[in-house]
Amino acid sequence: MKRIVYSEWRMPSERYWGLLGILAAVVGLGGLAALHMEHNGHWVTGMSNAVVWGMPHIFAVMLILSASGALNIATIGTVFGKGAYKPLGRLSGLLASALLVGGLLILVLDLGRPDRLLVAITHYNFRSIFAWNIYLYTGFMVIVIAYLWSMADRMGGPFVKPIGIFAMVWRLALTAGTGSIFGFLVARQAFDTAFLAPMFVVMSFAYGLAIMLLVLMFTFDQEGRPLGHKLRGRLMNLLGTFVAGVLFLTVIYYLTKVYGAKNYELVSWVLFDGGIYSFMFWFGWILMGSLVPLGIIYHPVLSQDRNWIVAACALVILGGMASLYVIIIGSQAFPLQMFPGHTIIESGFFDGVNGEAASYWPTIPEVLLGLGGVGVAMLITAVGVRVLQFLPESLADADVLPDDLGHAAPELAGT
Amino acid sequence: MKHQEAPLDPSLGSPPDPTLNAGPDQSRRAFLGIAAGATAAVVAPAFVLQAQAVGNPRAERVSDAHRWGLLVDTNRCVDGCRACVDACDQENGLDLQRKQPDQSEAEWDTQKAVWLRKVKLQDNLTGRVSNLPMMCQHCEHPPCVDVCPTGASFKRADGIVMVDRHTCIGCRYCMMACPYKARSFIHEVVEDQLTRVPRGKGCVESCNLCVSRRDQGLDSTACADACTALGHRAILFGDLKDPASAISQALRTMPSRQIREDLDLNTGVRYAGV
Amino acid sequence: MAIAVIRVSLVAVGLVWVLAAQTVLAGDAQRYVKPGSQAAHSAACVEETNFMRRNHMELIKHQRDSTVHHGIRSTKHSLAGCVNCHVSVSPEGQALAINGRDQFCGACHAFSAVDVNCFGCHANVPRGGLLSPAALAAHGDATAGARPSPGQFMSDTPGPATGRAGGQ
């Protein structure tokens, strides 16, 4: 194992500025969408009094979960002492804070009164898990910045491990807290389970790692930095484990739900009669988001092919979006069960007449706002790696893996 | 109905009542009176609608000596009648809501604010049909209050659950948490709100048991009054903590229940016959 | 040194400007109270004019919390009171939005470049009264007990005729 040298991202200028231009355009469109929603009110979105959280929240939760998950690699490197992952620690930290900023921006800009952010900062209701999360998110930013310092600064050495452990605990609390935002809602059948907390934790591992891998492969390829096959394979194995973990928890989640008669209707609706939600569940979440990526990751040939790896990571992320669509929006669309044993046959406020679910279709501003948040995260990352030394010069197996493993095969740059 | 706004009384431009010019004390007193609604507006009578009839605006903090609530007798709630809904809409200016341009009627219906709605339900086993009004249930342990990050969603000492629109940031988490779908988010710019019911874009709102009536010393709600006026008398409003109140007496004698009593929220709105 | 001089003079200009603005403001104060509004005929506001000019927002904010959370509506610092007294009327007899740029709140706030947040939610003209017509109809005399007797509820004897609530 060699000494790791970090350097700025030296992608050719014109390509770099082109990339920044595209990201800035995405961010700009997101900003315009937020202004549009803020100026007119939320009637320009598909969100309603029944489905109160929509597409922006899918993007926001995705980014927040990924932020926590992206830091996983740094944790593995510093807390669990896996030397091979250590060189990725800085990128891991940068990505974590960038994704969190993107996600929080979406959440804030989707508020009915984003101008009252100051109120949100100065008024706290400590019974609210949502208020707790505000602390968890801001604390996360501070801790990640300290973590980055400890990893990058000569003086930081002795602090890496304690800060790393603290960051890991904090991040687990953060994802558990995010899951609890939904899990603590006793009113809605599909929520109302502490199970969502660990489920979100494992989801964050999978989505964060998938994003991390995509960013890593893109930045390294653009500059021809070597990325070892063994290291990449390890990361993919890890991704496979996490995706399988999500799949396992998904099965348990629905099994626990279906165990009580009161939830029969809910589960059969999600799995079979939910229209878009059933489609999102089977096609998006289970097939494209879990089984296909697992197939790629554990396929002896495909798992060696860069394009298939990219596809697997992208599918994990898109599948994650689908799963959040089912969990967040589907759970709201399914009518509240106010009168068990009764059927609502008329209502002045869409109380699930004859069991009908609330309708929701995302509108363009919502999607643009969400994409804008992704754009912000990517923009921060792109600027960060360009101006500071976040990326290791080489992740060739010989450079990062213990000697007995690293010499097995020579590495090809950028494959 | 049309809310009184304009045109105003032609006497508006004419010289005001001389008492108003008698000095600061006088004018102050006049202002006080008007602010309190205890006197007719001298200059602009149409502004302060028959305000002389207002009782006594509250001067002391509400206390937990009272707990306001409703009892709904679903057996008396008439199929197809929406007097309570209309009365609520008029009381709170919700009838002034307008569909936004370029928006379908169906979409608007899912986005406009509804504080009180009629629900008709059928027992799956017996086929028995019941009608009832649904609104904020004014829980003793309201989930909306628990989850509100800023504390804007709160319970007044007298048991009324409401939203402080000054600190509501519009996150809508309370709407996620409410088991009764009682809350509405204001999806559009509001320009013609009533003086007694401020409401505006980007905040959440719900039934507040006609709180301004309470603060002006009236023990009633628009829905209960409207129901009584039609002779249906399916909605009874009153003080749950006053053993002598009509609602307490009725609750003692007739079987009633809470909706989603499994959540043990101890709702302030109770239902009989369902 | 030159920079320091420039800085000092900038501050000085700023101070002079603030003073001038204050004077102009005081001179123009009468202008903001609209003729035809109730306030135009009053010698003073609920507090001394200069005090109101500087502190009205504090009074309103204090009142807002005690009203919303504690139900106190008897005090004189209510926003509804401000609007009621200061609103002016068009020649056609139409109440003019008080936050309009040439109206009492709007003009002064435009001058001082401070955004008024109140009227996103609060009515900017007196509208609908402090009690609804329905409430007044149902409680012809508000001081009288408004509670129905227990016997009325769910009994078949009709209650006192109170009129169709809110009907018009």
In a domain, A264, yes or no: yes
Q: Tell me how many helices (H) and strands (E) chain A has.
A: 17, 3
In tens, the pLDDT along B123-167 reads: 999 999 999 999 999 999 999 999 999 999 999 999 999 999 999
In tens, the pLDDT along B21-37 reads: 333 444 433 433 343 33
Average pLDDT over residues A114-124: 89
Whole-angstrom CA distances from C52 to C35, C77, C122 are 19, 10, 20
Query: Which chains, if any, share at least 3 CB pairs under 8 A with chain B?
Result: A, C
Measured in degrees and rounded to the nearest 5, phi and psi for residue A227 equal -125, 115
B205 Cβ under 8 Å from any chain C Cβ: no
B145 chain-A contacts, CB cut-off 8 A = 125, 127
In a domain, A344, yes or no: no
Six token digits for residue A67: 């932020």
Cβ-defined contact of B170 to A111 (cutoff 8 Å)? yes
In tens, the pLDDT along A283-313 reads: 999 999 999 999 999 999 898 889 999 999 9
Range of the domain at C123: 27-140
pLDDT band at C28 (very low <50, low <70, confident <90, very high): low
C34 chain-B contacts, CB cut-off 8 A = none
What is the largest distance, in Å, between two alpha-carbon atoms of chain C?
93
> Beta-carbon neighbour count of residue A158 at 10 Å?
9
> Beta-carbon neighbour count of residue B78 at 10 Å?
14
Residues 6 or more apart from C161 whose CB is under 8 A from it? B229
B155 chain-A contacts, CB cut-off 8 A = none
Quote the pLDDT of residue C43. Answer: 81
Cβ-defined contact of B43 to C142 (cutoff 8 Å)? no
CATH of the domain at A297: 1.20.1630.10
In a domain, A77, yes or no: yes
Average pLDDT over residues C107-118: 91
Cβ-defined contact of B230 to C134 (cutoff 8 Å)? no
Task: Look at chain C and report how many structural domains it folds into.
Answer: 1
Q: What percent of chain A has pLDDT over 90?
A: 75
pLDDT band at A17 (very low <50, low <70, confident <90, very high): very high
Cβ-defined contact of C73 to B57 (cutoff 8 Å)? yes
B200 chain-A contacts, CB cut-off 8 A = none
Please spell the DSSP secondary structure of A354-378, one letter per residue: GGPPPP----HHHHHHHHHHHHHHH
Whole-angstrom CA distances from A255 to A179, A285, A329 are 18, 16, 20
Which residue is closest to B184 within chain A, CA to CA?
Answer: A49
Angle at A214 between CA A213 and CA A216, to 5 degrees: 60
Cβ atoms of C40 and C33 within 8 Å: the answer is yes
Query: Which chains, if any, share at least 3 CB pairs under 8 A with chain A?
Result: B
B80 chain-A contacts, CB cut-off 8 A = none
- Restricting to B residues 120-159, those with a Cβ less than 8 Å away from any Cβ of A are 120-125, 129-130, 134, 143, 145-152
Mean pLDDT of chain A: 91
Q: How many whole angstroms from its chain centre is CA A350?
A: 32
Give the ranges where A153-262 is alpha helix by DSSP (H).
160-183, 196-223, 229-258
Question: Domains in chain B, ordered, with CATH?
Answer: 10-53 (no CATH), 68-272 (3.30.70.20)
Interface contacts A/B by beta carbons within 8 Å: 183
Cβ-defined contact of B218 to C131 (cutoff 8 Å)? yes
Range of the domain at A308: 6-339+351-403
**Measured between alpha carbons, how far is C27 from A356 in angstroms, rounded to an integer?**
65
Q: Position of tokens 């801001």?
A: A138
Angle at B117 between CA B113 and CA B123, to 5 degrees: 140
Which of A349, A353, A356, A363 to probe by mutation at the B interface, max B CB count within 10 Å? A349
Picking from A43, A53, A347, the nearest residue to B176 by CB comes out as: A53
Quote the pLDDT of residue B71. Answer: 97
In a domain, C146, yes or no: no
Cβ-defined contact of B171 to A346 (cutoff 8 Å)? no
B198 Cβ under 8 Å from any chain A Cβ: no
Cβ-defined contact of C130 to B196 (cutoff 8 Å)? yes
Give the ranges where chain B is alpha helix by DSSP (H).
24-36, 83-91, 105-111, 143-147, 173-177, 211-215, 222-229, 246-253
In a domain, C7, yes or no: no
Quote the pLDDT of residue A37. Answer: 95
Average pLDDT over residues C25-43: 72
Quote the pLDDT of residue B57. Answer: 87
Picking from B100, B172, B263, the nearest residue to A53 by CB comes out as: B172
pLDDT of B4 > 50? The answer is: no
In a domain, A97, yes or no: yes
Mean pLDDT of chain B: 84
Cβ atoms of A212 and A106 within 8 Å: the answer is no
B10 Cβ under 8 Å from any chain C Cβ: yes
Task: Look at chain A and report how many structural domains it folds into.
Answer: 1
Cβ-defined contact of B8 to C143 (cutoff 8 Å)? no
Q: How many whole angstroms from its chain centre is CA A156?
A: 28
pLDDT of C141 > 60? The answer is: no
Q: How many whole angstroms from its chain centre is CA C45?
A: 12
**Measured between alpha carbons, how far is B52 from C142 in angstroms, rounded to an integer?**
10
Which residue is closest to C160 within chain B, CA to CA?
Answer: B229
Which of C57, C90, C132 to probe by mutation at the B interface, max B CB count within 10 Å? C132
Quote the pLDDT of residue C21. Answer: 58
Angle at B84 between CA B78 and CA B88, to 5 degrees: 165
**Measured between alpha carbons, how far is A88 from A81 in angstroms, rounded to an integer?**
13
Picking from A41, A112, A351, the nearest residue to B181 by CB comes out as: A351
Q: Which of A35-44, B81-90, C136-145 has the lowest mean pLDDT?
A: C136-145
Cβ atoms of B270 and B251 within 8 Å: the answer is yes
Picking from B117, B151, B181, the nearest residue to A336 by CB comes out as: B181
C-alpha distance from B197 to closest chain A C-alpha (Å): 19
